[in-house]
Amino acid sequence: MVNSSLFAQIRSKYATMTSVERIIADYFLNTTPPEEINPAEITASLFVSKASLSRFAQKLGFDGFREFIYQYKIDSAERSQSDTLNSSDRKVYEDYAFILTEAPKNIDNRALEKAISLIRNSKRIMIYGDGLSGYAAGEFMIRFKRLGLPVEVYTNDFMMLTNSAIVEPGTLVIGISLSGTTKNTLLGLKNAHNNGAKTIFITSRHSKNYKFDVVLYAASLPQMNTGMFISPQFPILLIIDLLFTRLVDMDSETYITNYQDTLEALKHNQTKLPSYPNGRHQ
């Protein structure tokens, strides 16, 4: 099992663990086990069974507890080398590493290709996003508009719902909700789909009930949508970067020309730094 951050992996599964599994998780998250970890000593000190250790490891994706211990030693060694980080800083880095590790596992290549096709062949592109997802929607709009695509963004509930009621076939509507539970974004996307628009949904919440044309799944951590520790925009921006890069690679001459034209248009807004005798800027 390849995992650049086992500790973030444990935290990601914590909410789904039984009370016994959480006792084991707390042991590895909050204490420093001996260098040679003995399963028998762990069962005795935590008052848990060997079967519980196995189930705990399997919940994290390992074949058994011994495989978990092997990975735990590797990650612990990496932690010890990062002695300049305090516990709070380390948690942030581990969570980002976890998202980067999990992101490729969530992406369906065929879904990504279909999304690119819809983006390229749509007359208009609307992006819906509320709250923090709305900021990611704004980033989406800016990036793709600079490629010459007809993109609009709606981050207001009233505008999302009114717009979804009048969209026409040939329009692509992209909804963003990391939690997958943002009521107005989902309602707007459903309305647009029912009115004949093509739809793409970007979320971390897996479900077989989505009726949209494409669903792109982002990696996430429990309660990440609240923005408590790391930005919930991060996994969404990864999806945007994948779409952006694939799109440019398919027609690099056209898109890069458009992008360069926008850079030229923005030159007036760049401040020229003063020069100094030694040729350096201060």
pLDDT of residue 1: 35
Q: Position of tokens 């509507």?
A: 173
pLDDT of residue 86: 73
Domains by residue range for the chain, with CATH: 6-104 (1.10.10.10), 107-267 (3.40.50.10490)
Q: What is the mean pLDDT of residues 117-137?
A: 94
Is residue 77 very low, low, confident or very high in pLDDT (cuts 50, 70, 90)?
A: confident
pLDDT of residue 221: 79
Q: What is the mean pLDDT of residues 151-160?
A: 94
Q: What is the mean pLDDT of residues 29-55?
A: 88
Query: Are 225 and 232 spatial neighbours (Cβ–Cβ below 8 Å)?
Result: yes
Instruction: Tell me: pLDDT of 227 over 70.
Output: no
Q: What is the mean pLDDT of residues 197-216?
A: 95
- Mean predicted lDDT score pLDDT of the chain: 86
Is residue 114 very low, low, confident or very high in pLDDT (cuts 50, 70, 90)?
A: very high
154 DSSP assignment = E
Sheet of 171-176: strand order equals: 151-154, 124-129, 171-176, 198-203, 214-217
Using one digit for the tens of pLDDT, what is the confidence trace for 260-269? 888 887 777 6
pLDDT of residue 273: 56
C-alpha 50/C-alpha 128 separation (Å) is 49
Is residue 220 very low, low, confident or very high in pLDDT (cuts 50, 70, 90)?
A: confident
Instruction: Tell me: pLDDT of 108 over 50.
Output: yes
- Percent above pLDDT 90 for the chain: 54
Q: What is the mean pLDDT of residues 149-178?
A: 95
Using one digit for the tens of pLDDT, what is the confidence trace for 245-262? 999 998 888 888 888 888
pLDDT of residue 246: 93
pLDDT of residue 90: 76
User: For residue 25, what are its two tokens?
Assistant: 């998780």
The three-class DSSP label of residue 210 is coil
**Beta-strand runs (E) in the chain:** 124-129, 151-154, 171-176, 198-203, 214-217
Check residues 133 and 1 and name the one with the higher pLDDT: 133
